[in-house]
């Protein structure tokens, strides 16, 4: 069914406001792209039966092949997606006893009686296929109406994810989808977008810009290559392009899968090196430790952190000489080095990492403006490296970038030396 066209409707009054964005439709769009289905329209409507019905009518009128609605399948009175779709297509809704039993059993499993309102979730449109939802109570539904196929999915992102994998992708794959696409990803840390652009200039000269997307976020750039065509054709297209990008960016690339994080890569390197790590943090307040411990199994290599935010704790806990603090200030190369050494020694780690800086908005001076951060890494052995960094942006961004630079230096510094992998490090270019 090449050339299938889809429309996405996110249902939820909270999505119309300022504080919730519709990430579900983005997730659905990605799944559709993977199957070669073009998205023609995306809409957001409130929990409003007439508005939902209107979207269905519009899809029918426009000759859309596939309409996917997410949300509004809950048990409460404001969950009216079933009713809105049924109204637009003039279908009846009937309560299915086996689904009701299923929902009741879920509640029993939690030691609860099913509230009466949950009956609504067992209401299925005439002619619809029930799509079991293993992660929640609201089942999905699939329904054919002439040329149009509708999917009704729950909105809780984790439940939606399950529905996409179990019910949407297999259904599309069975239909042959459209022209399949394949994406290859390279993730680069701690290089500004312009520096990445400059480095990959030769790639553009050789291959042009088509099929390459550069996505920047704070301290991280994702390069995405999207190939279309037959599996063979995609491989032939991707291989030389990936190889060239790898050549041009070298050790700046830390991952080639979208789900791999910088902290995960650092963790793997530490585990492989059999090295342990401890941190002493000031301006980041434990953010570096928090990121390191996001990774399951971090206890294999991460020992802990001293969040020495005050001078007193730098002195009392870490043993930084008061005289040094008074002379150089807490935000200084000397104090960062002393903190890193203390973390290493006191916590008994192979590597000690320290961050101290001015995150702002106040506290800056001409000599030490907001964004000034000192990063030091002690170990292995006598090694003691220090970086004086200057980050742009607000407090949150500065703190994030500090943690990002620390992770990347651990990756490319001591661990790269240990793993004896990759070429020598390039120059430091701090920027957002
Ligand atoms: P369901 O169909 O799963 O029962 P619902 O609409 O009844 O969904 P809500 O309580 O409204 O359930 O939403 C469940 C959660 O999913 C909420 O935290 C909500 O903010 C989130 N959510 C709803 N729609 C979207 C969306 N389009 N993108 C991302 N998150 C969403
Ligand atoms: Mg909702």
133 CA to centre of ligand 2 in angstroms: 16
The arithmetic mean of pLDDT across residues 371-391, rounded, is 96
Q: 170: Cβ–Cβ under 8 A, 6 or more apart, which residues?
A: none
What pTM, to 2 d.p., does this model score? 0.69
Interatomic CA distance for residues 148 and 127, integer angstroms: 13
The arithmetic mean of pLDDT across residues 86-100, rounded, is 95
Interatomic CA distance for residues 241 and 238, integer angstroms: 5
Tens digits of per-residue pLDDT, 156-199?
999 999 999 999 998 988 886 566 678 899 999 999 899 999 99
For 261-417, list the strands marked E by DSSP.
Answer: 277-281, 302-307, 351-357, 372-378, 384-390
pLDDT in the model for residue 3: 75
Ligand 1 atom closest to the Cα of residue 73 is 2
Pocket test for ligand 1, best of 151, 155, 161, 164 (most atoms within 8 A of CB): 155
Tens digits of per-residue pLDDT, 393-428?
999 999 999 999 999 999 998 777 665 543 333 334
Ligand 1 atom closest to the Cα of residue 72 is 6
Interatomic CA distance for residues 27 and 275, integer angstroms: 38
Percent of the chain with pLDDT over 90: 83
Query: Residue whose CA is closest, atom 4 of ligand 1?
Result: 74
Q: How many CB atoms lie within 10 A of CB 153?
A: 30
pLDDT in the model for residue 163: 96
Task: Provide the Cα torsion 261, 393, 429, 401; round to 10°.
Answer: -30
Cα dihedral 134, 135, 141, 147 sign:
negative
pLDDT in the model for residue 428: 42
Q: 353: Cβ–Cβ under 8 A, 6 or more apart, which residues?
A: 277, 278, 279, 280, 288, 340, 343, 375, 376, 377, 378, 406, 410
Q: 111: Cβ–Cβ under 8 A, 6 or more apart, which residues?
A: none
Pocket test for ligand 1, best of 28, 72, 156, 161 (most atoms within 8 A of CB): 156
Query: 429 falls in which pLDDT band (50, 70, 90)?
Result: very low
Which DSSP letter does residue 15 get?
G
The arithmetic mean of pLDDT across residues 303-308, rounded, is 98
The answer to whether 264 touches 293, Cβ cutoff 8 Å, is: no
Q: What is the mean pLDDT of the chain?
A: 92
Ligand 1 proximal residues by C-beta, below 6 Å:
10, 12, 14-15, 20, 22-25, 70-74, 79, 138, 154-157, 159
Ligand 1 atom closest to the Cα of residue 137 is 4
The arithmetic mean of pLDDT across residues 317-335, rounded, is 98
Pocket test for ligand 1, best of 71, 121, 151, 161 (most atoms within 8 A of CB): 71
pLDDT in the model for residue 427: 37
Largest CA distance in the chain: 81
Interatomic CA distance for residues 155 and 140, integer angstroms: 10
Query: Residue whose CA is closest, atom 19 of ligand 1?
Result: 156
Q: 32: Cβ–Cβ under 8 A, 6 or more apart, which residues?
A: 6, 38, 39, 66, 172
Query: Residue whose CA is closest, atom 18 of ligand 1?
Result: 156
pLDDT in the model for residue 418: 64
Beta bridge pairs of residue 189? 220
Q: What is the helix (H) or strand (E) element at residue 139, kind and residue range? A: none
Phi first, then psi, for residue 75 (nearest 5°) are: -90, -10
């Amino acid at each position: 069914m090449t050339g299938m066209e889809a429309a996405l409707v996110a249902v939820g009054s909270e999505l119309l406001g300022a504080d919730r964005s519709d990430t579900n439709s983005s997730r659905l769009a990605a799944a559709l792209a993977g199957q070669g289905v073009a998205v023609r329209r995306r809409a957001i409507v409130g929990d409003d039966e007439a508005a939902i019905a209107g979207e269905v009518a519009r899809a029918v009128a426009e000759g859309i092949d596939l309409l996917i609605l997410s949300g509004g399948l809950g048990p409460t009175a404001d969950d009216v997606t079933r009713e809105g779709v049924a109204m637009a297509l003039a279908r009846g809704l009937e309560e299915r006893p086996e689904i009701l039993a299923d929902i009741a059993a879920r509640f029993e499993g939690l030691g609860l009686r099913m509230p009466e309102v949950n009956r609504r979730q067992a209401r299925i449109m005439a002619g619809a296929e029930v799509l079991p939802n293993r992660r929640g109570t609201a089942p999905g539904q699939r329904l054919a109406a002439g040329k149009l196929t509708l999917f009704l999915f729950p909105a809780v992102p984790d439940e939606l994810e399950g529905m996409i994998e179990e019910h949407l992708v297999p259904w599309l794959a069975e239909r042959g989808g459209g022209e399949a696409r394949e994406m290859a990803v390279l993730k680069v840390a701690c290089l500004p977008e312009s520096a990445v652009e400059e480095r990959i200039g030769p790639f553009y000269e050789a291959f042009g810009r088509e099929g390459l997307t550069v996505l920047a976020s704070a301290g991280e750039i994702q390069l995405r290559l999207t190939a279309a065509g037959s599996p063979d054709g995609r491989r032939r297209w991707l291989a030389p392009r990936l190889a060239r990008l790898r050549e041009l960016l070298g050790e700046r690339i830390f991952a080639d899968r979208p789900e791999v994080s910088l902290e995960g890569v650092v963790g793997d390197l530490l585990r492989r090196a059999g090295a342990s790590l401890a941190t002493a943090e000031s301006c980041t307040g434990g953010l570096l430790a928090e990121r390191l411990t996001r990774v399951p199994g971090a206890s294999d290599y991460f020992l802990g952190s001293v969040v020495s935010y005050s001078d007193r704790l730098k002195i009392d806990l870490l043993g930084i000489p008061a005289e040094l603090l008074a002379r150089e200030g807490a935000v200084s190369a000397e104090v960062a080095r002393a903190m890193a050494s203390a973390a290493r020694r006191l916590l008994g780690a192979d590597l000690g990492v320290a961050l101290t800086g001015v995150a702002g908005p106040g506290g800056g001076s001409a000599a030490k403006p907001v964004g000034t951060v000192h990063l030091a890494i002690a170990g292995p052995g006598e090694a003691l490296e220090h970086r004086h960094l200057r980050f742009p942006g607000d407090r949150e961004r500065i703190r994030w970038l500090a943690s990002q630079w620390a992770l990347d230096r651990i990756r490319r510094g001591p661990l790269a030396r240990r793993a004896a992998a990759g070429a020598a490090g390039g120059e430091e270019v701090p920027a957002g």
